[in-house]
Chain A
Amino acid sequence: MTMRPNTMRTRASACAAILTLLLACTFACHAPDGEGPDQLAGSGWSRGESRLDDITNGLDDNASRGLINDGRGLTGAGTSALGPPGLEFLPDGKSRFIPPSVRNIPAGTDFDDYVVIERADGTKERYGPEHIASLRAKLGDDDLGQPLPLARTDVDGRVTLNLASVTVTHRFENPYASKIEAVYVFPLPQDAAISDFVMQIGDRRIRGIVREREEAQRIYEAARAAGHRATLLSQDRPNIFTQSVANIEPGQTIDVATTYFQTLPWRDGAFEMVVPTVVGPRFNPAGSRDGVGAVAASHRPGSSGQATEVGYLQRSADAPHVLGLKVHVDARMPLGAVTCDSHPVTIERPDDHSADLALRRDDVPNRDFVLRFAPKGDGLHGAVAVHRDPESGEGWFTMLIQPPEDPAHDDIEAQPREMVFVVDCSGSMEGEPLAACKRTIRRCLDDLRATDTLRVIRFSDQSSALGPDALPATPENLRRALAYVDGLEATGGTMMEQGIRAALQPRTEPGRRRIVTFLTDGFIGNERDILRAVHDHVGDARIFSFGIGSSPNRYLLERMASLGRGVAAFVDVDDSSRDQVDALFRRIEKPALADLRIDWQGADVHGVEPARLPDAFAGRPVLVHGRVRGPLPASIRLTGRAGNLERSHELAVGEARADATLPKLWARARIRTLHDAMSWAPTPQELEDEIRALALEYGLASDFTSFLAVDASEVTAGDHGTTVRVPAPMPRGVRYDTTVSGSPVSGSR
């Protein structure tokens, strides 16, 4: 059927609507690079008793493809390492495939170290752990170890002021001789508003649609069965997602680009952007079925019995795929320091306001990427950005609230405190994480006041404590506490709920403020149980969480701190974040304003998130999302308590226009609140319905909505083939043998 525009029922503002919609598009869309990676694909395997298991080798791309496509049964086809292409069995039971293009791999090469390969033309290449892949998949009943289908992940971030738009592109390649479905569990920031999802096949780009989770799953399965290429993105936790790509034909490449928006927090003198790259191995209590299982990559899928499952490769150097990352920062004002302690990066400053940052080389995705930048000047003074619907006038705003320094603050008598330190001593904390934990506690203990009391609680399979009651912070008791902390060892599971109850349930001495500091990697799969326990027992206590390690569960740690009206900080195992830890502990000393309230001065403001405001700390401004009918007021009044005194500040509100990302960010914040509340609500169905409706209206991924893209234009031949699950490397500093089910000394992970 056809229509001509002059006969159509068009709205008068159609052109404006186009522009509005398209403005949003331009902010959201960064097409993935079309260039193929210059990378190494790995192949090889070792022989177990009855099946092929883990593998090591460094091969060039063509060589691994040659192995896959030649169709020969390679098992048992042993030849010399120095001879023509073939399979070599090594003395330790491992084996490796020597590609046609490689003449000489030195005998006795340690594959956990560096490999020098001399090519037929005499050139030599040195492959380090970052290149040597441990890639294996088992197709059907054959016993061939094969490279895995996820070739690389590319992250492209664009930051304007403190609003980030980040596109994460996963490149799936099928190196096998038959069709496959690739399944990959990966992390994203817990507050990411995922709003776009594009499947790219060659130069064709198909934008995904948000559908109810079950409906999307049903359609995806039907498309897979019918031979259509399709991809599905489902949220398993606010920071864990499963991506499935169906009907990838042999030799084919499919890129899947996921775009999210994020408001970057201001932390201790700088905006901070974190890109997680790996899901840490989670512990799930006995009886749990809705957790996140951690199993050896060689295990049969589903062996953990959990709803979500990640397979891990044994050695930290193993790289199932590589990570590329670049970020453009436009501060819209003179830009000060730009730093990245987590990765080796290049930083260019094209002008005074901006910076371009990129990884120096492709890296192993085994730790969080952390970027910090700050405008020049004396810090942050608060900011407001508003987006208005052009038709209704309804506004969505985001506001950074930084209470001014109170000159009288230092004179205010500090309230006596009960300082509680809760230490995660489970298996995943063994080694560097627990050492980082101990360093952190020592620094905190040094800063206790004589009027404080003190408790130290440890938990793993069970919880125990320094003593039955809080101890006065005398020098003698501080020495006892230090000795107790020094003697802590990590082993067993992560029964965090016991630690929470031990910290929050006992009565507090009247007039004393309880401050609980959790030190943990947060590697648990039952986050809802933990948040419910915190909600039920927190009372008037304040919670500060220190996330320990290279890739902690930031979702859990941030939400625990939020429920306890405190803040979270993150401590890497290499002590690079030491200054931030010290800064945070100084903040705990005296919040700028506790029990914060906002008077909107008569403006019609509603839907403020978070509804229960955290305490405001110097250097940690409060971020608020909300909606407004009509104008925002010229100023707002902040009221709170400083020490035992009521304090009030009037702050000017300068309204700056922002684009259509703000409604999505507000909806994401609202969904987060509802999601938390589902943990303890007696009838969560209403909350679930509200989350689903919000996510569908604003086009967001959630627990109850998924992104789906189907290529209905073509049907691939044959059935949908084998499902290949992409394994993950171990997070840096985390031990495989104490965290992964099926490892030699693993517990019930």
Chain B
Amino acid sequence: MIAFRLLVTLAAALLAFGNPPQDPAATHAPGFQVLDVVVDTGAIPLAAWQLEVTVEGALLVGVEGGEPAAFRDAPRYDPKALQGDRIVLAALAVGDELPRGKLRVARLHVTTNGSSGNLTPVLRSAVTADAEGRRFEAHLEVQASGEGR
């Protein structure tokens, strides 16, 4: 009886050895990540912005407003663009206090199929405008924030 138990235990151990613990990503369970939209306006107050970005392997599941009070409301998105896997966002500042400098103006909440590692957002276009509606040059990027993994 003891020998039989040993045999079963050995067989179980071999089976376990042949099936290493599963990588959670390999199960393709949905995961959730966050991408930040950061703009550096320098000395110019920011009144409006718009961007188009694609993120392979991710689906947008929420759009959050930014840190400055003027951009706290969640940006609008173009639902038609989402059908082509493009994310088109736009926001207009509210209030009189327009922020300047390096700002997180939005946060994208996305889901992945679990197989994706670091997401690679590709910025297709971006526009920033001042209080007079004039375009101005600003540094804008979409980056993984490291939260929500």
B125 pairs with A219, CB closer than 8 A:
no
Closest chain B residue, CB of each to CB of A216: B61
Point out the residue from B73, B80, B122 that lies within 8 Å of A1, measured CB to CB: B122
List the B side residues contacting A10 at CB < 8 Å.
Answer: 125-127
Counting CB contacts under 8 A, is B65 at the interface?
yes
List the A side residues contacting B141 at CB < 8 Å.
Answer: 1-3
Expressed in whole angstroms, the Cα–Cα distance for A25 and B91 within the complex equals: 9
List the B side residues contacting A698 at CB < 8 Å.
Answer: 79-80
Residue-by-residue, is A183-212 near B (CB-CB < 8 Å gives 1, otherwise 0)?
Answer: 000000000000000110001111111110
B123 pairs with A3, CB closer than 8 A:
yes
List the A side residues contacting B78 at CB < 8 Å.
Answer: 21
Counting CB contacts under 8 A, is B46 at the interface?
no
Counting CB contacts under 8 A, is B18 at the interface?
no
List the B side residues contacting A24 at CB < 8 Å.
Answer: 76
Residue-by-residue, is B20-52 near A (CB-CB < 8 Å gives 1, otherwise 0)?
Answer: 000000000111111000000000000011100
Stretch at the interface among A705-713, A723-731, A739-747: A705-713
A17 pairs with B79, CB closer than 8 A:
no
Tell me how many residues of B have a C-beta within 8 Å of chain A: 57
Stretch at the interface among A220-228, A466-474, A565-573: A220-228
Counting CB contacts under 8 A, is A6 at the interface?
yes
List the A side residues contacting B122 at CB < 8 Å.
Answer: 1
B109 pairs with A15, CB closer than 8 A:
no
Task: State whether A199 and B62 are in contact (beta carbons under 8 Å apart), knowing that A8-B125, A26-B92 are contacts in the complex.
Answer: yes
Residue-by-residue, is A321-334 near B (CB-CB < 8 Å gives 1, otherwise 0)?
Answer: 00000000000000
Counting CB contacts under 8 A, is B120 at the interface?
yes
List the B side residues contacting A210 at CB < 8 Å.
Answer: 79, 82
Min CB distance A34 to B, Å, is: 11
Expressed in whole angstroms, the Cα–Cα distance for A10 and B74 within the complex equals: 23
Min CB distance B128 to A, Å, is: 6
Point out the residue from A14, A21, A226, A228 that lies within 8 Å of B125, measured CB to CB: A14
Task: State whether A22 and B76 are in contact (beta carbons under 8 Å apart), knowing that A8-B123, A713-B147, A713-B148 are contacts in the complex.
Answer: yes
Min CB distance B103 to A, Å, is: 14
A219 pairs with B74, CB closer than 8 A:
no
B76 pairs with A21, CB closer than 8 A:
yes
A206 pairs with B50, CB closer than 8 A:
no
A15 pairs with B129, CB closer than 8 A:
yes
Min CB distance A235 to B, Å, is: 16
Contacts of B59-114 to chain A: CB distance below 8 A: 59-65, 72-80, 82-83, 90-92, 107, 109-111
A18 pairs with B48, CB closer than 8 A:
yes
A207 pairs with B63, CB closer than 8 A:
yes
A14 pairs with B50, CB closer than 8 A:
yes
B127 pairs with A4, CB closer than 8 A:
no
Expressed in whole angstroms, the Cα–Cα distance for A31 and B65 within the complex equals: 12
Min CB distance B114 to A, Å, is: 9
Counting CB contacts under 8 A, is A715 at the interface?
yes
Closest chain A residue, CB of each to CB of B112: A712
- In the A-B complex, the 7 residue pairs with the smallest Cβ-Cβ separation, listed nearest first, are A699-B79, A207-B74, A712-B32, A712-B148, A712-B109, A222-B30, A2-B141
CB-defined A-B contacts under 8 Å, sample of 28:
A1-B142, A3-B141, A4-B138, A4-B139, A5-B135, A5-B136, A8-B126, A10-B126, A15-B133, A15-B135, A22-B48, A22-B76, A22-B90, A25-B90, A206-B64, A207-B77, A209-B60, A209-B61, A219-B59, A223-B32, A226-B30, A696-B79, A710-B32, A711-B64, A711-B109, A712-B34, A712-B111, A712-B147
